[in-house]
A and B are shown apart, each in its own frame.
Chain A
Amino acid sequence: MSSTQEIQSGLAEILEEVAGVTPADATPEKSFTDDLDVDSLSMVEIATAVEDKFGVAIPDDQLANIKTVGDAISFIEKNQ
């Protein structure tokens, strides 16, 4: 089980790798598309990386509901 803080920093690492997001910018209130300029194909890559890192698969219908970094953190927390 990863702590919320561990999930946030792990997610920030993924965002930096996949989309070039500065880790300090990957805060819970940020919208992936509006604030971090992450497009839909990059979201698919992020979902794959989340599964590798946290062992949490994000089904496509759930992925569509993940709008912010906070949404992703919550999803991982609940499903890990």
Chain B
Amino acid sequence: MSASTSDVVVTGLGATTPLGGDVTSTWEALLAGRSGVSRITDEWVQEFPAQLVARLSTDPADAIDRVRARRLDRSQQVAVIAAEQAWAESGAADAGVAPERIAVVFGTGIGGALTLLGQDDVLEAKGPKRVSPFTIPMLMPNGPAAAVGLAIGAKGGVHAPVSACASGAEAIRWGLDLLRFDRADVVLVGGAEACVHPLPMAGFAAMRAMSTRNDEPERASRPFDKGRDGFVLGEGAAALVLERADSAAARGARVHARLAGAGATADGYDLVAPHPEGEGAGRAITAALRDADLSPADVGHVNAHATSTPVGDTAEAAAIRSSLGEHVLVSATKSQTGHLLGAAGALESVFAILALREQIVPATANLDDPDDNANVQALDIVRSEPRRATLRAAVNDSFGFGGHNIALVFTTA
């Protein structure tokens, strides 16, 4: 991999998650094996089959002042918090980049659901005149991207990919393309989600997609385990600052990792069910490797999408095995964070980057009894405790309802 002007590097990271209010605390909690999952105790949950949630560990109100917060949906609040962390860490604000050369790509799966549903309650109870004038800018799915763009003063374009649980990863891919096409000099990318509310909970539960292991919250999210029975809904955001390697080097920026390639495919199979053999997912990984000019042997680690649903995890195991082989160390970090939907791909990319930087692979919690599926059995899924390893490249893959598949390849700085 020769250095060229199209090399793209990661110079800033930010996150607010069920494990911590920033990247450092989240990563430490992940490596320590802590769980962000708890049981909902609100009255409304009594009739719900799935009562578990991975809530933010840190209240957004701790990081955003009250007046600003009341004009931002919770999904926008977490986006801004993660983005401002990444932006500050990158030092890009002091690098003299013209605002017209700064872009934002920030995805979300659901958008401002809490605002939409909350204002519908206002409409029903008090009538149309009491609906907030901020309803639309708070519920629109480009709301997190727009809020982030305002927060950092980006004028080079603000974009919002919406591909369900692949949105955060898709944002990273868009950012890579923007830099390669020289449409911007710095791109802040990421994903945000905050939709813990009875309606999304009921909808996912109706799909039988959520874990009902209500009596064991911390053991409910168990990717690849024989006893898995669905995902746990999480909330949070993660952000990354991307720029071309030469300009990052010129300003002396700290480089966490390289974003070496990306691949995107669609299953063309079913609106929600993954292709059982992970055909589209495997193609995305292969495409990302080709884009990065790497071979499967170069990849040492995969941060898997692995949501803990019965059908999703086996399809992904097939995809990983067919595209990369059996040597890669696989982590399923949703076992501790829950499923952050449109933020998942961004957060798990942060984890993949930290794994490369620190040369350590996080463990998959709750993997007591791996599925009998031959592909799951064939994979080297790290469990019990994190594993030290010599890593040169890592893959993060993300999949979304709709058949969206995104794979990203990061390499060491």
Q: Main SS of chain B's interface residues?
A: loop
- Which of the 9-residue segments A6-14, A27-35, A41-49, A70-78 touches chain B? A41-49
From the candidates A19, A41, A44, A48, name the one contacting B67 in the complex (CB within 8 A): A19
Q: Does B130 touch A at the CB level, under 8 Å?
A: yes
Tell me the residues in window 124-149 of chain B with beta carbons closer than 8 Å to chain A beta carbons: 129-130, 132-134, 137
Q: How far is the CB of B136 from chain A (nearest CB, A)?
A: 10
**Are A20 and B67 in contact, CB atoms less than 8 angstroms apart?**
yes
Measured CB to CB, the residues of B under 8 A from A are: 65-67, 70-71, 129-130, 132-134, 137
| Structural contact, B66 and A45, CB atoms closer than 8 A | no
Which chain A positions have C-beta within 8 A of B66? 20
The contact sample of 17 A-B pairs, CB cut-off 8 A, is A18-B67, A18-B70, A19-B67, A20-B65, A20-B66, A20-B67, A41-B71, A41-B133, A41-B134, A41-B137, A42-B133, A44-B133, A45-B132, A45-B133, A45-B134, A48-B129, A48-B130
Residues in B neighbouring A42, C-beta threshold 8 A: 133
CA distance A34 to B67 in the complex (A): 18
User: Beyond the given A18-B70, A41-B133, A41-B134, could you list 7 further A-B residue pairs with CB under 8 A, ordered by the A residue number?
Assistant: A20-B65, A41-B71, A42-B133, A44-B133, A45-B132, A45-B134, A48-B130
- Closest Cβ of chain B: how far from A44's Cβ, in Å? 4
Q: Could you say which residues of chain B place their CB within 8 Å of the CB of A44?
A: 133
Residues of A20-60 contacting chain B, CB below 8 A: 20, 41-42, 44-45, 48
Give A19 to B70 CA distance when docked, in angstroms.
9
Chain A-chain B contacts (Cβ-Cβ < 8 Å), number:
17
Residues of A within 8 A of B129 (CB): 48
Chain B residues whose CB sits within 8 angstroms of the CB of A45 once the complex forms:
132-134
Distance of B129 from chain A, by nearest CB (Å): 7
Distance A18 CA – B65 CA, assembled complex (angstroms): 12
Which residue on chain B has the smallest CB distance to residue A19?
B67
User: Chain B contacts of A20 at CB under 8 A?
Assistant: 65-67
Residue of chain B at shortest CB distance from A44: B133
Assembly CA distance A41 to B131 (angstroms): 12
- Chain B residues near A18 (CB-CB < 8 A): 67, 70
Interchain CA distance A20-B129 in the complex, whole Å? 23
Give the docked Cα–Cα distance between A48 and B65 (Å).
23
CB distance from B384 to the nearest CB of A (A): 50
In the assembled complex, which residues on chain A have CB atoms less than 8 Å from the CB atom of B70?
18
Least Cβ distance of A56 to chain B in Å? 14
Cβ contacts under 8 Å, B134 to chain A: 41, 45
Which residues of the other chain, A, contact B137 by a CB distance below 8 angstroms?
41
In the assembled complex, how far is the CB of residue B23 from the closest CB belonging to chain A, in whole angstroms?
29
| Alpha-carbon gap, A45 to B70, bound state (A) | 12
Chain A residue, CB-CB nearest to B65:
A20
CB distance from A80 to the nearest CB of B (A): 19
List residues of chain A with CB within 8 A of the CB of B133: 41-42, 44-45
CB distance from B76 to the nearest CB of A (A): 15
Could you tell me the distance between the alpha carbons of A42 and B132 in the complex, rounded to whole angstroms?
A: 9
Q: Shortest CB–CB separation between residue B147 and chain A, in angstroms?
A: 14
A48 vs B135: C-alpha distance in the bound complex, in angstroms?
14
Q: List the B side residues contacting A41 at CB < 8 Å.
A: 71, 133-134, 137
Which residues of A are found within 8 Å of B71, using beta-carbon distances? 41
The distance in angstroms between the C-alpha atoms of A18 and B70, with both chains bound, is 8
Residue of chain B at shortest CB distance from A16: B67
| B65: A residues at CB distance < 8 A | 20
Nearest A residue to B67 via CB reads: A20
Which residue of the partner chain A has the closest CB to B131?
A48
Bound form: Cα–Cα A19–B66 in Å: 9
Rounded to whole angstroms, the CA-CA distance of A15 and B130 in the bound complex is 17
- How many angstroms from the CA of A45 to the CA of B131 in the assembled complex? 9
